[in-house]
């Protein structure tokens, strides 16, 4: 019973803080979609790469580095070019960043690109 009261109070404080912060924003939907765009590109890139290169076990480090760099690149784009690039482009920028970094990491580690789309 004590946990539920504490968690209810914590969520209430969090929601009041979010409401207070969004009071100064023009639309809450733009803020929500731009925040989801920060991570959506990296996740979509991971999904596309896992579907394209199925089969043989591959190391996860190129994908992890690609997702982290995707988050950093999209955050920098949002921070420095947010007035020129709208939030729908964040997902595409993150997707391309993840795929390029991951494929570069696969090349560096000596892995071959054998796609599951056209098996040998």
Lowest mean pLDDT of 29-33, 75-79, 103-107, name the range.
29-33
| pLDDT, position 26 | 75
Structural domain harbouring 50: 26-108
Among 33-37, 101-105, 115-119, the least confident range: 115-119
Whether residue 117 is predicted with pLDDT greater than 60 in this model: the reply is no
Mean of pLDDT values over 3-31:
82
| 74 or 59, which is more confident | 74
Tokens of 90: 């964040």
Listed range (9-18, 27-36, 76-85, 94-103) with the worst mean pLDDT:
27-36
Decide if 76 is inside a domain. Answer: yes
DSSP 16-82: HHHHHHHTTSS-HHHHHHHHHHHHHHHHHHHHHHHHHT-SS---SHHHHHHHHHHHHHHHHHHHHHT
User: How many domains does the structure of the chain reveal?
Assistant: 1
Q: Do the domain assignments include residue 73?
A: yes
User: Following CA atoms 46, 92, 98, 43 in sequence, which dihedral angle do they give, to the nearest 10 degrees?
Assistant: -30
| Residues 32 and 53 sit within 8 Å (Cβ to Cβ) | no
Q: For the packed helices 61-81 and 88-108, what is the interaxial angle rounded to 10 degrees?
A: 140
Q: Is the pLDDT of residue 58 over 90?
A: no
Mean pLDDT over the full length of the chain: 82
């Amino acid at each position: 019973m004590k946990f539920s009261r504490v968690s209810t109070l914590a969520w209430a404080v969090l929601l009041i803080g979010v409401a207070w912060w969004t009071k100064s924003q023009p639309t809450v939907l733009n803020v929500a979609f731009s925040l989801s765009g920060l991570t959506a590109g990296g996740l979509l890139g991971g999904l596309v790469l896992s579907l394209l290169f199925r089969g043989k076990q591959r190391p996860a480090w190129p994908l992890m580095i690609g997702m982290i760099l995707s988050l950093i690149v999209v955050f920098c784009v949002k921070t420095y070019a947010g007035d020129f690039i709208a939030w729908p482009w964040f997902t595409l920028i993150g997707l391309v960043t993840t795929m390029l970094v991951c494929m570069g990491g696969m090349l560096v580690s000596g892995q071959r690109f054998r796609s599951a789309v056209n098996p040998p």
